[in-house]
Structure formats: structure tokens, C-alpha cells
Amino acid sequence: MNSSEPEAALRPQYRSGAVARMVRMPVTTLRVWERRYRLTQAALSPSGQRLYSAADVQRLALIKQLTDLGHAIGQLAGLDMGALLAVQATHAQAVAGGPAAAAPQSPSPWRVGVVGAALFQRLARASGLPGPHEPRLLGPWADPAEAEAACATQRAQDEAPTLVLWHCPSLQPEAWARWQAEAPALSAQVRLGVVYSFASAAGRAPLLAAGAALLHEPTEDAALWRWLSTLGPTAPPPLPGLADLPPAPPQRWDDAALVTLAGLSTTMACECPRHIAGLLRQLMHFEAYSRECTHSSPDDAALHAHLAEVSTRCRLAFEEALARVIAHEGLLPGD
């Protein structure tokens, strides 16, 4: 290498779009990485555009290769080229060593099909934000019928999506029937997520009953990306729905009895009986409220069923605590 080559390697000359094509990543991902992790010392042109040197491109290409192998971008961002090359060498040695020394395989790609160009654009723009398992986006497809045809081909190649997102800005009552008619195989084999701007309870109800995930379209891409991560392979199991909510255990005291207990004098200077009785009243009211919400708000039924179960468990615990206080103070002749 002659003395002019290092200077040439450090000379800023490539714009973001060209660099993204060279390292084979969406330019939106490159911009997110740079903004969040400051991977290079890219210069700025007079117009404010980033300009990358050949050395910058080499570093980004190596980081992209390692993330494709399963390494987290956050763990690679702070490494210099020597450390990045050492990580790369570890993989090369593992492959050369044969099956016994092979490196652990990265998780199978999580494939998400997208019906709707605008939704696809927003997800691509958010790609690279922190998440448990970044998906591979497929599409975009114009409508359910096009998604059905594309997925039939991908299924034969074992490349079909595990989740399909449908951008349906106006969610009408016939939306679920349309999806079933135009995409019958997807309806039976792939989970559906629907992002909407306007909807009625009648439009949401059949989709919720079929197990679809619904989201009122958020303004920020990051909120959309966080919601998508909750549908991924590492997401926690769904909360119980209304059908899974067991009947509430009977209450030990009613509201009036708790008011009476709160007003009785005790030997305890801390007034714990009054405080516990007040907490119990609040828990009883919230428990009833949550169970009512599972009926009046079908799109939030699972969440309110979970809240009802939590408040029931808390009520039972505080009822036991109040029973001990009553026995200690002798406030009532019987429990």
C-alpha cells in the first residue's frame, strides 16, 4: 500500500443511499443505527448529508455481516475494527472446525408479511430500533388476495410469514368476512394483526373473536414497532380473555360492613383496621369495574380480565389480613 492509500480510505465520498446499497441494508436502518449508536465518524456535506469514507463502509459492512449472524447491534457498536475482526474470526474458526465446534445457530428469521404500502414503509423506517427479535418484512401487498397468492408461493419454498399485518384504515363490520374470503389459507394458518385508524365495536368484534391482534394506528413509528414486538416469537403468552375468566370468589364482607368496621374503635394507634377496610372497599369496587369492562369494551377484554384476576387475588389477601385484625381486636363476635 502506498502512502496515499490510507488518506484515500479516509476521504468522505459516499452518501447514505450508496452505502446502504453497498452493505445491503435499508437506508432507514443505516440512519437509525447511526443516530442511536454513532457507528462511524461520517462527515457532513455543505447541504447536511452524511458522507462516508471507504473505511466507514468497511466497518459498516462487517457490522452488518455480524448482525446477520445473530450478534446484537448494541454489543457491536462500541467495538473497534480489531475487535470486530476478532468476532468474525471466531465464526470462521467455528465453521472450519466442523459440526463439533460449530457456533450456535441464530434463531430462525421471524417473517412478517405486510398488506398495505404505507404500513410497510413505516415498519421499514422503524427497522433497527431496539426489540427482542427483529423480523424480516415481506411485501408490501396491495390487498388480502395478493397476500394470499404471494404466500402460497412462499409456503412452497418454506418462506411463508408467521404473522401478517393488514393496514385497514377504515375497519368496517365486513372486514373479517372479506379477509376470510380473499385469503382463506392465511386465515387458517397465519396469525393476523390489523392496524386501523377508525373502527366501531362491530368492526373489531369478529376479528377479536378470531384471535386477531388490533392496534389503533399510533403517530410514532416507535410505538408501532413496540406493538409488533409483542406479537413476535419471544412475546409473552396472551392474557386470558373473557371466556377464561373464572367467577369471582364471594366477598367476605359487603361495602356496608366494611364501612362499619372502619368506624369501630380499636387499641391499635396506627389505625390499620380502618386503612385495610378502606383498601378492601377500593379493591372490591375496582374488581367489579374490571369485570364489567370485559363486557363493555371487547377490544380490551383480555386486559380487563387480567386486571380483574389481579384485583380478586389482592382482595382475598386483604380479606385474610382484615380477618386477622378482627380476631386480634375482637371487633366482631364472629368472622
Domain limits for position 280: 243-329
Q: Give this prediction's pTM.
A: 0.44
The pLDDT assigned to 169 comes to 92
Taking alpha carbons only, the member of 13, 88, 81, 1 closest to residue 43 is 13
Q: What is the C-alpha separation between 116 and 146, in angstroms, rounded?
A: 11
Residue 307 main-chain phi, psi, to 5 deg: -65, -35
232 and 147 housed in the same domain: yes
166 and 257 housed in the same domain: no
The pLDDT assigned to 246 comes to 63
Specify if 106 maps to a domain: no
Give residue 271's region: left, alpha or beta (phi > 0; psi -120 to 50): left
87 and 122 housed in the same domain: no
Residue at which a domain ends, from 101, 127, 158? 101
Specify if 191 maps to a domain: yes
Residue at which a domain ends, from 236, 261, 286? 236
191 and 210 housed in the same domain: yes
Specify if 40 maps to a domain: yes
**Total domains in the fold of the chain:** 3
pLDDT tens for 57-114 read 888 888 888 887 777 787 888 888 888 888 887 765 554 454 444 444 444 567 899 9
DSSP string, 86-122: HHHHHHHHHHHT-GGGPPPPPPPP-EEEEESHHHHHH
The pLDDT assigned to 191 comes to 86
Residue at which a domain ends, from 175, 201, 236? 236
Distance from the first to the final alpha carbon of the chain: 91
Specify if 335 maps to a domain: no
223 and 269 housed in the same domain: no
116 and 229 housed in the same domain: yes
Share of the chain above pLDDT 70, in %: 77
325 and 226 housed in the same domain: no
The pLDDT assigned to 99 comes to 46
pLDDT tens for 30-53 read 888 888 888 888 888 888 888 888
pLDDT tens for 190-245 read 889 999 999 888 888 888 877 788 888 988 888 888 888 878 775 554 444 444 55
CATH number of the domain within which 21 lies: 1.10.1660.10
The pLDDT assigned to 103 comes to 42
79 and 191 housed in the same domain: no
Q: What is the C-alpha separation between 217 and 182, in angstroms, rounded?
A: 23
